[in-house]
């Protein structure tokens, strides 16, 4: 009983996924041959999460908190978030503004709720790959507005005017930015909302890395009461629990209750025990959080210095988060070729730049969120490989300077 050809629907045909997960899958295959791989492809923090988060989750599991909870999220977590934001000077924000859902899924949920197939979506590039994958999947007309590396990838008035002139149905903004680490100014964001309000444009503000802004105070769009604004964030990055897959949306209650119906339709609800862990996360003291920021501030600056002194690679120094967006032009390789060979020959996993938008084939993204020693070894390999490429020498000629064996049968 074999059918002839499999006919997928339009959405089925438009699925592209996230490139970094494809890189992870390739890396895992190499690891299955017993070969160590340096993982710089994903924002997988190796910083230990606050012990109360894990302890609370374990207690919740031990106490049998294994059932369903309301689709909008565990009431205690929504209340804790409301308190968190109210304390931050936004007293009008109540628990009705919050919906608990994985942050990556929220990107899809928000776009599907606000845009029809064919509608224009604006993103500022370099942009997080899921924006592009979700737009493609849903069938949106994606318009990418390139931010300039010379301007530190900052959001300019000109870029905003350009975006609004495209009359998009929705627009995604991501400060602090993945992959560039740029943090947008209060005035640029306020101008953005003014313009969007004028034209009735939905705004999705992805603030996943807001709390990892270590160079100056962060300004969140949640300070503005714009009904077509959805702020999204996650517990993954700040509290080092990406595996919890727990994030949230903050939006006007009318929008939030739509999102809650979306959660109910799509996945019923999230686990209670992870949500209870997140309640504990919101009570974690400043000292842990300061330590996290200090660490990422140090490691990003240090790695950027190595990159920029390499004589072959260049990058901006991030203002937030834990990524470096690295220009590989001098290696004369395309991003995919670069990543493929770096993984296969140097067992170091990084993500191709073109996943972050059109015209970025001369970049790769490196995550420095892992264990310091591993990150530094990965960066060393990245630089050595790049130097070999620049010099035009095959890497095998310098094989004796590195402890690696080529794994030819794995990838």
- State which of residues 219, 244, 323, 325 lies at the interface with a copy of itself (CB under 8 A): 244
Nearest 10 degrees: Cα torsion 211, 305, 392, 327 = 40
Among 203, 255, 366, 407, binds a copy of itself (CB under 8 A): 255
CA distance 65 to 100: 17
Which of 15, 399 has the CB closer to a copy of itself?
15
End-to-end alpha carbon distance in the chain: 33
Determine which residue in the list 78, 123, 130, 319 makes contact with a copy of itself, applying CB under 8 A.
130
Within positions 37 to 96, which residues make up the interface with a copy of itself, using CB under 8 A? 42, 44-45, 48-49, 54, 57-58, 61-62, 64-72, 75
Q: Is 259 left (phi over 0), alpha (psi -120 to 50) or beta?
A: alpha
The first and second tokens of residue 162, run together, are 């350009």
Interactions with a copy of itself, residue window 300-319 (CB under 8 A): none
- Nearest-approach distance from CB 153 to a copy of itself, in angstroms: 24
- Distance in Å, CB of 409 to a copy of itself, minimum: 18
Tracing tokens 């640029």 back to the chain, one arrives at 188
Q: For residues 12 and 359, which CB has a smaller minimum distance to a copy of itself in the complex?
A: 12
Tell me the window of 153-161, 238-246, 281-289, 382-390 that interacts with a copy of itself (CB under 8 A): 238-246
Report the alpha-carbon distance of residue 156 to residue 150 in Å, rounded: 12
List the one residue from 77, 81, 93, 102 that touches a copy of itself (CB under 8 A).
Answer: 102
Single residue of 79, 84, 96, 113 touching a copy of itself by CB under 8 A? 113
Least distance to a copy of itself, CB of residue 124, Å: 20
Among 79, 166, 261, 282, binds a copy of itself (CB under 8 A): 261
284 lines the binding site for a copy of itself (CB under 8 A): no
Which parts of 132-171 interact with a copy of itself (CB under 8 A)?
A: 133-134, 137, 169
Q: DSSP secondary structure string, 238-278?
A: TTT-GGG--EEEEE-HHHHHHHHHHHHHHHS---HHHHHHH
Token pair listed for 376: 């530094």
Map residue 399 onto helix, strand or coil.
helix
Is residue 40 within 8 Å of 349, Cβ to Cβ? yes
Counting every residue written for the chain, the total comes to 411
**Closest separation between CB of residue 308 and a copy of itself, Å?**
28
Which tokens belong to 234? Answer: 């996650």
**Is 104 among the residues that bind a copy of itself (CB under 8 A)?**
yes
């Amino acid at each position: 009983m074999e059918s002839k050809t499999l006919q997928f629907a339009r959405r089925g045909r438009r699925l592209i996924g996230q490139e970094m997960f494809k890189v992870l899958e390739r890396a895992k295959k190499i690891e299955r041959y017993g070969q160590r791989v340096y993982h710089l492809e994903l924002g997988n923090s190796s910083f230990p999460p606050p012990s109360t988060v894990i302890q609370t989750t374990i207690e919740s599991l031990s106490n049998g908190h294994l059932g369903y909870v309301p689709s909008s999220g565990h009431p205690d977590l929504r209340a804790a978030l409301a308190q968190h934001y109210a304390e931050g000077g936004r007293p009008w924000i109540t628990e009705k503004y919050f919906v608990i859902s994985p942050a990556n899924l929220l990107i899809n949920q928000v776009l599907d709720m606000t845009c029809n197939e064919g509608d224009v979506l604006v993103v500022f590039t370099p942009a997080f790959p899921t924006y592009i994958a979700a737009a493609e999947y849903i069938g949106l007309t994606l318009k990418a507005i390139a931010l300039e590396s010379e301007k530190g990838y900052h959001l300019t008035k000109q870029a905003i005017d350009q975006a609004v002139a495209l009359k998009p149905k929705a627009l995604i903004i991501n400060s602090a930015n993945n992959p560039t680490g740029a943090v947008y100014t209060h005035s640029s964001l306020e101008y953005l909302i003014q313009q969007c309000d004028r034209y009735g444009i939905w705004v999705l503000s992805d603030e996943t890395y807001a709390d990892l802004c270590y160079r100056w105070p962060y300004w969140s769009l949640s300070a503005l009461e714009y009904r077509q604004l959805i702020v999204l964030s996650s517990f993954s990055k700040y509290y080092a629990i990406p595996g919890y897959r727990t994030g949230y949306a903050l939006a006007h209650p009318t929008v939030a209750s739509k999102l809650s119906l979306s959660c109910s339709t799509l996945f019923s609800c999230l686990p209670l025990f992870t949500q209870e862990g997140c309640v504990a996360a919101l009570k974690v003291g400043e000292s842990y959080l300061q330590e996290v920021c200090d660490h990422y501030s140090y490691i990003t600056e240090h790695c950027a210095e190595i990159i920029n002194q390499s004589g072959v690679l260049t990058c901006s120094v991030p203002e937030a988060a834990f990524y470096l967006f690295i220009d590989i032009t001098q290696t004369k390789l395309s991003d995919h070729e670069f990543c493929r060979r770096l993984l296969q020959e140097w067992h170091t996993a990084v993500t191709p730049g073109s996943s972050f938008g059109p015209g970025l084939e001369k970049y790769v993204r490196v995550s420095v969120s892992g264990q310091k020693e591993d990150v530094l070894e990965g960066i060393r390999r990245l630089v050595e490989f790049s130097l070999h490429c620049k010099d035009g020498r095959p890497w095998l000629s310098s094989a004796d300077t590195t402890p690696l064996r080529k794994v030819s049968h794995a990838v």
